[in-house]
A and B are shown apart, each in its own frame.
Chain A
Amino acid sequence: MAQTKRKSRDGGGGDKAKGKRGKPGGKKQKGADARERKGPRLPNVLRKEVERLNPIEDEEIDSDEAEVYGRDFYEYEEELPEEEKRKNRRFDPVENLEYQLPEEFEDENVSSDDDDNDMGDAGEDEDEDEDDDDDDDDGRQGIARIPAFEGKKKRNTNVVVSEAYPESEYNPTRDTLDGEGPVNIEDLLNPLHGKSGYSKLRKRIHHLEKKSVPTPAPLPKADQEKLERMAAHEKSKEELQKWEPIIKRNREAPTIYFDDDMDLRSSRASDFKPRTEFEKKIASLVYDDQVKDAHLKDGSRLLELNKVSAEDERDRHNRMAKMRSLLFRHEMKSKHIKKIKSKTYHRLLKKDRVKATSVQSQMDPDTAKELAMKQEYERAKERMTLRHKGTSKWTKRIKERGIDVQDEGTRAAIAEQQHLHAQLTRKMNSMKDGSSSSSSDDSSDEDDIDVYSPGSDHARAVKLLEKAKEKTRNVLKDDDENEVPNSGVLSLPFMVRGLKKRNEAAAEEAKLALQEYESWSNPLEDSSGADNLNVGPPSGRMVFNGSKKNAPESSNKTKTGNKMRTDNYYANSDSEDDLEPEENVDVENDRSSDFHKDVNISTALLHEDSQNHKDSLFKNFGDIVQDPGPKTTHEVSIFASGSWKKIKSSNSADANGKKSTCRLESVERNQNLQEPVEDLDEDSDADSEGQMVDGILSSNPKDEYRLPSQAELIRQAFAADDVEDEFEKEKQEVLNEENPEPEKPTLLPGWGQWTHVQKKKGLPSWMQKEHEDAKKKREETLKKRKDAHLKRVIISEKLDKKAEKLFTKTLPYPFTSKEVFEQSIRMPLGPEFNPASAVGALNRPEVMKRPGVIIRPVEFEEVNPQGKVEDHKQIGKKQKKRNQSNKSRSSSDKIVTKVKTKLKS
């Protein structure tokens, strides 16, 4: 009965399942069964009830309906069906309860709504499938053919549950008796499913079931606190970790900045309240919002300055700067000039000034008049005061002593004074006469000419031409007279040739110049008419270049003039005329400004003239005693200078000749000296040859002659000098110097020697011991020396006390190697050794702060730890920015006040 009952129940179950699915296909029955187990598991009693009440209800539920309505009912997942849990051994143990159909089979028949359920199974059994894949198809076929209820049949056959008594109301079934057993959590839980939170609860329970550990007794309070503290410590450590990059950056930065800009508005001055009217007015202006805004945004906008364009301003600035610099230059120049003590320079300067004024006077009559007035005044003054007459103390004294005794400067000064006096006291008429009659005035004092006789230009020009001609002629003559020296270096053929060439060239130039003079003088003569000065007759030889007669171009003239000069220079090359060209140039320049009106006169002329003038001046100085007055005539001066030059040149030539002869003589002497030497040499050569011959002769009989070895040769070479011994001595000296030998102990004579006993005893033992010790010590130090074992080396161990100060005893702390340390102090820091742009960065201190600015503690900011160390400047900027942001944040409560500097008091 029981069996049948169970059977029927099972079968009913199976039917129910079949019905539920509503799908034929017995082959799939097994899978369907397995799936069915996934469904909710009602307690059997309930189940029975449900079955009894409406057995068809379940069947009627459409698959779709089940999907729609009964979704929540089936949805939960139960881990293990009851059968598998083997609870109460109600089910037979089955090896392969969940038999999985092959995939191909399922693919054909799987219904749409079963897919979801199948998924899990398929997943679970994949391993098995993989194993099966290895088998051949036949195996699969066989499995596929297994009837659906095979498993159940097996179970039925295996387990036979026999009821001892018939089933009735009074005999409770086995299930009720021991099958379900006492009520467990699951039983209580099951009715809850579908409610919210059910699955969670179930999971927790499951978890508890799996590993349930007894809760330990609480730790003692101390330990508990310790643990808590440890955790807290770890946590706070982590928190503090964030500061590391900031700290690192600050420490590595070469300079750290704390000088944020002061916010003046928030200072204590803001507490000030205006009381009087004036203060109120000012306050209303100062605290005007617009003004404030403008000031904050751009203060310069308010200024008038902005209306002026930048370019204008720059221009103005530049102009001002230029003016200032010009002014400065002028100042400097005048200062410089004032400092110059040279009298000549000042005289020249004065002359220049006078000339300038004269030029001006010529330009306009007013100034001329003024100048004349001034002159007149001067003259009058001189007549009145007789200042330069020689009545002054100084002149009197000099005269008393005698002028001859005085030095040249004084004489010149006196002459000058007299001259000045004469000039200033001369009658007006006589002066005019003098200017026309005496040429000395013209030549010596051209200024006067310019001032007083501007009309006599023409005559002067003619005169000048004359002079020039004469000069050239002289030069030509000189050339002719210049005889080639018979002896000396100049007598050498190539020198002679060179001289000749030069002379010829000079002569040619001179002739050219002469021609030119003539060509100029002709028109001049024509124009003057009355003044027919006879030009000196040109010598016949001088005229052989008629073709170049007309060379009217001024450039040519100047050229020739210049050439002339150079020729002259060459001509008297031996004399001390070296200075002349320079002088000439100077004077020429001066004159050129003077003679601006007579353009016709060539520079050559000018040059000549100026030269002459110079000479005359010189002459004046020279012959001042004989001729103190201003009577030195131009002609005289020319001749004098010419002759003087000539004499000079001849003198020098003589000197040269002498010199050359001397040299020659010496050479001859040398030769003489050399000759005997040569003789001697020859003699010695002959001797040596003889010896050689002897040697060869003598060596002939000895057959075994071997060349000596290198070492032997060296030994022979240095046989006499004992180097090693010398070195040894030297070393010993050095050693003695560095570690001196201890002095021998001696007693003072007579000390302790008044008895025989003491005499016999000799030195006291402590003295001897000391001596011994000192000796030992010395020996030890000698042994310790680095060169103790080196025979041929002396290593001095003397320390340089002065240099010792410049070395550190040990490597300073942060440095790890000597090189790095040395490198660190290699570059100098000072402004003398570095450009201005680098000095600031080099000398910047580690901490930049300003007195009177409150420094706040560090605030956290993100720092890129990988970021490299930036330049100081950048860091500075950044920090400034940061500080500013800080400030804006806390500007309200920030009060900055300076500690007054009167603190010092």
Chain B
Amino acid sequence: MKVKVISRSADEFTKERSQDLQRVFRNFDPSIRTQEKAVEYVRAQNAAKLDKIFARPFVGAMEGHIDSISCMAKNPNHLTGIFSGSMDGEIRLWNLASRRTVCRFPGHKGAVQGLTVSTDGHVLVSCGTDSTIRLWGVPVSNLLEEDVSSDKSAEPRETYVWKNAFRSVDHQWNSDRFATGGAGVDIWNHNRSAPEQSYQWGTDTVVSVRFNPGEPDILATSASDRSIALYDLRMGKPTSKFIMRTRTNSICWNPMEPINFTAANEDSNCYSFDCRKFGEATCVHMDHVSAVMDIDYSPTGREFVTGSYDRTVMIFPYNAGHKREIYHTKRMQRVFCVKYSCDGSYVISGSDDTNLRLWKSKASEQLGVLLPREQKKHEYHEAVKNRYKHLPEVKRIVRHRHLPKPIYKAGKQIREQNESQRKKHEKRKAHSAPGSIVQEPLRKRKIIKVE
């Protein structure tokens, strides 16, 4: 007769150290655990609530500018360095860790409109309404020096004067070329005082210029004629262009998906496009109540941050129609520029009130070194929350945000307007011959013309 014996190895039951946890053996048979779903649902609710409790997104403000901040640039090679340019022509380099000015770059006579840093992080390019482009050497900041002398100024390495004022500048990835937008699009080199190439398509001012970081020869611009255009430097030609109903203030490419970019529009929406087909947007991101001024993608390519004229900063998932997070403070005025930090865990906003503000990208994230168990716990909470996010109670808690009254009211009004328009349209449709009235989806509606 065969006898089954319960066998247990001593290794599994001996603790090697007194601190070790006693190993627990469990029976994972679902039939003896009938309450598991209920338990996890409650945990999801609790996780959502905890997220709310621990939401402390504001890290700190950086003050020092004496006029509103018009543009910012992050150093792609240095995590703590961020440049900001203001309307009075001052450029500053900030250390995010100490939240102090590391260096000033005086020289511009008018407002600084564009800032960008080369990929190696050594050259800062600025341009402004005084029709000059200035190239600056980025000071190598040592830890010791940072503490001692927080303020020092630098001289421009080069100054190129050109015929027209500039509105924006962007550096090509892994190259020493940069593009400026103004009367037209100009491609410059670090070493030449005149543009390498110039493109002119239409007569209106180019408002923003962005190079594609994944495919560095492709360039997207938006102009004040409400158009968005693509240029290909290899072909030396503009490739395509489309015109929307309202102007696009800023463009940002998805760094992980070189075919996609998102445009921050005046009509308080953001539109994601596939640059191979311009007929329709792939996604419309709405929730702002006023013009979106700037946009920047997270380096993970999964989220982007927007700053708006409605005094809020929002974070959207790359494929979602509504915000994931909204940041606002009482003192923050119109936001003109936003940046996502190079490690994807902070957001910096620059606004009308002359301050830069540092936010966490996840409001309730725990900063500092996490123990493995803490890490696991956080992951579990996140997973559970994610699983039950569709259930009404969890959804409600996760989505709930306290908003400033004007923003709340404006949002409500916009929703009401949209709803009444929809109703009107439906009525019209119901009372006319079938097929005679066709509603275009929002993704297409905003695009007037594709060239």
Contact = CB atoms under 8 A, between A and B. Distances in A.
A137 B320 CA distance: 87
B196 interface: no
A766 interface: no
Contacts of B76: 854
A817 interface: no
A903 B300 CA distance: 22
A281 interface: no
Contacts of B232: 232, 235-236
Contacts of A894: 77
Contacts of B259: 240, 243-244, 247
Contact of B97 (A237, A244, A808, A903): A903
Contact of A240 (B39, B78, B276): B276
Interface stretch (B187-195, B283-291, B349-357, B377-385): B377-385
B60 A250 contact: no
Interface stretch (A663-671, A792-800, A829-837): A829-837
A240 B275 contact: yes
B301 interface: yes
B40 A828 contact: yes
A133 B326 CA distance: 92
Interface string A813-851: 000000000000100111111110001101111110111
B15 A328 contact: yes
Interface string A886-905: 00000001111111111111
Using C-beta atoms within 8 Å of the partner chain, give the interface range for chain B: 35 or more
B215 interface: yes
Nearest to B44: A829
B79 A898 contact: yes
B304 interface: no
Interface in B89-119: 96-97, 99, 119
A interface secondary structure, majority: loop
A48 to B, nearest CB: 61
Contacts of A101: none
B59 interface: yes
Contact of B36 (A271, A833, A835, A902): A833
B interface secondary structure, majority: loop
B177 to A, nearest CB: 16
A860 B216 CA distance: 11
B237 A232 contact: yes
Contacts of A229: 237-240, 451
A798 B295 CA distance: 50
B147 interface: no
A828 B78 CA distance: 42
B388 interface: yes
Nearest to B235: A232
B208 interface: no
Interface string B20-63: 00000010101001001101110100000000000000011000
Contacts of A893: 77, 119-121
A843 B383 contact: yes
Interface residues of A, number: 72
Interface string B376-411: 100110111001101111000000000000000000
Nearest to A269: B143
Given A806-B41, A809-B392, A849-B300, A854 B343 contact: yes
A357 interface: no
Interface stretch (B155-163, B250-258, B307-315, B440-448): B250-258
B413 interface: no
Interface string A863-905: 0000000000000000000000000000001111111111111
A524 B19 CA distance: 63
B371 interface: no
A858 B256 contact: yes
A228 interface: yes
Nearest to A250: B256
B273 interface: no
B390 A812 contact: yes
Contacts of A898: 79
B344 interface: yes
B282 to A, nearest CB: 12
B389 to A, nearest CB: 8
Contacts of A243: 214-215, 257-259
Interface string A246-282: 0100100000101000000000100100000000000
B392 A843 contact: no
A104 to B, nearest CB: 65
Contact of A268 (B143, B343, B344): B143
Contacts of A341: none
Contact of A901 (B301, B367, B387, B393): B367
A321 B11 CA distance: 9
A404 B357 CA distance: 88
A831 B380 contact: yes
Contact of A829 (B16, B40, B301, B358): B40
A893 B343 CA distance: 17
Nearest to A240: B259
A851 B96 CA distance: 14
Contacts of A294: none
Given A842-B383, A852-B343, A900-B97, A237 B40 contact: no
A855 B255 CA distance: 10
Contacts of B77: 854, 893-895
A321 B16 contact: yes
B368 A904 contact: yes
Contact of A833 (B28, B79, B230, B368): B28
Given A805-B391, A903-B59, A896 B43 contact: no
B173 A857 contact: yes
A856 interface: yes
A256 B383 contact: no
B142 interface: yes
A853 interface: yes
A901 B215 contact: no
Nearest to A897: B79
B123 interface: no
A847 B300 contact: yes
* Most B-side CB within 10 Å, residue of A243, A271, A899: A899
Contacts of A658: none
A809 B391 CA distance: 8
A237 B275 CA distance: 8
Nearest to A859: B214
B368 A845 contact: no
B224 interface: no
B342 interface: yes
Interface string A302-321: 00000000000000000001
Contacts of A839: 376, 380
B346 interface: yes
Interface string A11-38: 0000000000000000000000000000
A380 B215 CA distance: 102
Nearest to B122: A893
A806 B37 CA distance: 11
A325 interface: yes
Interface string B62-82: 000000000000001111100
B257 A858 contact: yes
A484 B447 CA distance: 114
11 contacts: A226-B451, A243-B258, A247-B257, A324-B15, A325-B14, A807-B391, A808-B390, A828-B40, A852-B79, A899-B80, A904-B368
Given A240-B218, A847-B302, 16 more contacts: A229-B237, A229-B238, A229-B239, A232-B235, A258-B300, A258-B344, A829-B380, A851-B367, A852-B79, A853-B343, A855-B255, A858-B257, A859-B214, A899-B79, A899-B343, A899-B345
Interface of B: 14-16, 18, 26, 28, 30, 33, 36-37, 39-41, 43, 59-60, 76-80, 96-97, 99, 119-121, 140, 142-143, 173, 213-215, 218, 230, 232, 234-235, 237-240, 255-259, 275-276, 299-302, 341-346, 358, 367-369, 376, 379-380, 382-384, 387-388, 390-393, 451
Q: 7 smallest A-B Cβ distances: which pairs?
A: A855-B299, A857-B213, A857-B255, A233-B239, A901-B368, A812-B390, A843-B383
